[in-house]
Amino acid sequence: MADVIWNLDAHDYKRLVSDTLITFVAILHAQVKERCRKGIPPSMRARAWQYLCGGKYLLESNPGRFDAYLAETGNPQCVEEIRKDLHRQFPLHELFMARGGHG
């Protein structure tokens, strides 16, 4: 089984990142940790992150809470600090790039 983990591609991750991932992580924690360090395919990172950090479980066990958080207004000082830092954290991300150049 351990040999299979080292040769995962994006298609394998799609099968792996499912509700069974929690069981997989519990049983093969060391192998999953090593695989994550070697790199999760970009197409699967957001989904894998939700499972690996427990976010999917929290979202499902607290229905409506995320939407309530989204509806709240943030502290203006904190929002401004985050806005100023986005271009430094994600200089090549299309949502945060300045017109005609990098972040």
Mean of the per-residue pLDDT values for the chain?
A: 76
59 closest CA partner among 46, 15, 39, 51: 51
Distant-in-sequence, close-in-space partners of 41: CB < 8 Å, separation ≥ 6: 9, 10, 13
Distant-in-sequence, close-in-space partners of 90: CB < 8 Å, separation ≥ 6: 96, 103
* Rounded CA separation 44/14 (Å): 7
pLDDT tens per residue, range 54-100: 888 888 999 999 999 889 988 999 989 888 887 777 777 776 666 65
